[in-house]
Amino acid sequence: MKLSNTELEFLRTSLTGTPVIRPDSRHAGQLRPIESEIDILPMTYGSARVRAPDGSDCIVGVKAKVVNRHDDLIDVSVDIAGLKDNDALPNSLALVLKQVLDSCPEITNNALIINDKYGFNLSVDCVVLSYSSHPLVILSAAIFQALKSTHLPKQLDSLEMDENMDLTKTKTADEAEIPQFDDDWSQSVPLCPEGWTPPLLFIVSAINNTVVIDPTINEQLVAEASMFFTWKNSKVSAPIETLNTGSTPYLGAFAPELLLEAYSLVENCAPALEQSLLSSE
């Protein structure tokens, strides 16, 4: 619903005053509640569905495939209902999410590598059924849950099959054999190493001299700029980028001192979200 200039001005005044009053009575550093389910799709290695009370709803499915090993082992696609395939939003979201996942050596250099020659190609496919505020936050939560629930088949030890082979000779990459897997799914191994959690993304909006986390669509309309922060390995890390949230009448920049404040907002609420997502399993 489009807001009038008066309504926008009212919203902006209430958000920039002390104390900050948000339309849904949250604190500046409080996230909206989300609901999630995991392992919902029978045809995937891991899947999750995340819902937010504003009607945002997304489903993520993870599939893996054995391929010749190369550097680019993760594919991310985003499909948003109602938007065309060549629309900028799903494509830019997919790029950002791929960038975030590619910079996780915990999975790209570890769980996805089978041997010198073969690796798993991981496809993370996101379907956004509906959204009102920027879908990046629930997408990242859904990918978090889906990756956490992803299991890969257990690789069988190949040594017993070729006892006659000369073990002293080291194998070159070309000779690496085709991997064999255990067909018992209860023996499958989780993709994420023990104690490691996938990255989460947070959006923070700057409105005059205040910053608010997880802005609603109307809050983004009166904000000067919005940025997203990545939370990885228990700290804020790259990529941190400005986010195009459409043309707003107050368009401006993110002041450096607000950036520090935004940092601390993310640092305050990220561990709690991580914990609650983990405990829901």
Partner 1 sequence: MSRYEIYSPEGLRVDGRRYNELRYFKCALGTHAHAADGSAMVEMGTSQVVCTVKGPQEPQQRSSMDTKKAVLRVNVHVAPFSSITRTKHTSNEKQLQELSMNLEETFADVVLAHLAPRTEIIVDLHVLAQDGNIMAGCVNAMCLGLIDAGVPMLDFIASVGVALADSVPLLDPNHIECSELPNLTVGVTGKSNKASLVIAEKRILLDRIKPSLDLAIMGCKTVHDIMDEQVRIRLNSLEDRIKR
Where do contacts with partner 1 occur on this chain (CB under 8 A)?
41-44, 47, 51, 53-57, 59, 61-63, 65, 77, 79, 81-82, 84-85, 123, 125, 127, 129-130
| Residue number, 123 or 208, with CB nearest to partner 1 | 123
| Residue number, 44 or 140, with CB nearest to partner 1 | 44
| Residue number, 21 or 83, with CB nearest to partner 1 | 83
The least CB distance from residue 145 to partner 1, in Å, is 15
For residue 222, give the amino acid letter. V
The least CB distance from residue 37 to partner 1, in Å, is 11
- Is beta strand 151-152 parallel, antiparallel or unpaired with respect to 35-38? unpaired
CA dist., res. 57 & res. 130, Å (int): 5
List CB contacts of 69: < 8 A, sequence separation 6 or more.
113, 114, 115, 116, 117, 118, 119
| Residue number, 113 or 127, with CB nearest to partner 1 | 127
Instruction: Decide if 202 contacts 214 (C-beta within 8 A).
Output: yes
CA neighbours within 13 Å on the CB side: how many for 272? 12
The least CB distance from residue 141 to partner 1, in Å, is 16
Of the chain, the end-to-end C-alpha distance in Å amounts to 36
The least CB distance from residue 66 to partner 1, in Å, is 12
The least CB distance from residue 109 to partner 1, in Å, is 23
**Cα 88 → chain centroid:** 18
| Residue number, 65 or 171, with CB nearest to partner 1 | 65
| Residue number, 17 or 55, with CB nearest to partner 1 | 55
CA dist., res. 234 & res. 119, Å (int): 28
List CB contacts of 177: < 8 A, sequence separation 6 or more.
115, 158
| Residue number, 54 or 267, with CB nearest to partner 1 | 54
CA dist., res. 61 & res. 146, Å (int): 7
The least CB distance from residue 130 to partner 1, in Å, is 4
Report which secondary-structure segment, H or E, holds 128.
strand 118-130
CA dist., res. 113 & res. 213, Å (int): 37
CA dist., res. 263 & res. 267, Å (int): 6
Encoding tokens for residue 281? 């399993």
The least CB distance from residue 217 to partner 1, in Å, is 14
